[in-house]
Amino acid sequence: MKQLFSDFYWINPPDEFSIEEQEVCWQTKPQTDLWQRTGYGFRHDSASLFVTEVTGDFSFQLKTAYPNAESLYDQCGIVMYQNSEQWLKASVELISRDHAHLGAVLTQQGYSDWSSTDIPASEREMWYRLSRRGNDFYLENSEDGKLFKQMRLFHFKLETIKARIGVYACSPTSGSFQASFSEFELGPCTWNLK
């Protein structure tokens, strides 16, 4: 079913945003990020998130668009955020004029990891799908909203029965860009274990 936004709420709300029937957009704030400790030592929990709480097994899918992102590490994507010490984000992060990273960061017990692959910086749209079976999760991405490919399979021990899922965007350096999220779908788990 199509997901409406009446039960979504902000964490670190942006200064400028718009919410329409099937799309939410906002302008990122400079110097915002999600990262915890690993490698760099710093702790950032300032990205803008637009989330809802879901119980039970599910699949959550959406489209992201970021046509004017141009600064290092500008990013927007899907997020599952329980607290500052435990979360997942998946997005395209701009690296240079020529390439970007499609990747996922899983943070558990206050430490982040980062898995990624290079993609062309000309890629300005991406779809994501996150599926849950118990405390196991399956993350996928798609370049056309039809053919989804595995990004990550992981275990995420939730402290509550609710998973807080949604979208996020941030600009870790001095940049700012318009992030757009649409084609939201939330429904029964579609993760096929075969």
**DSSP sequence for 9-66:** EEES--SSEEE-SSEEEEEPPBT--EEESTTT--EEE--EEEEEEEESSEEEEEEEE-
How much of the chain, in percent, has pLDDT values that exceed 70? 98
Which residue segments constitute the domains of the chain, with CATH numbers given?
11-53+64-125+155-180 (2.60.120.200)
Q: Cα(66)–Cα(132) distance, rounded to whole angstroms?
A: 27
Span 43-88, pLDDT tens digits: 999 999 999 999 999 999 999 999 999 999 999 999 999 999 999 9
DSSP assignment string, 78-120 = EEEEEETTEEEEEEEEE-SSSEEEEEEEEEETTEE--EEEEEE
Q: Cα(143)–Cα(166) distance, rounded to whole angstroms?
A: 19
Tokens 């990624």, residue located: 116
Task: Provide φ and ψ at 174, rounded to 5°.
Answer: -90, 5
Span 86-96, pLDDT tens digits: 999 999 999 99
pLDDT at 186 over 90: yes
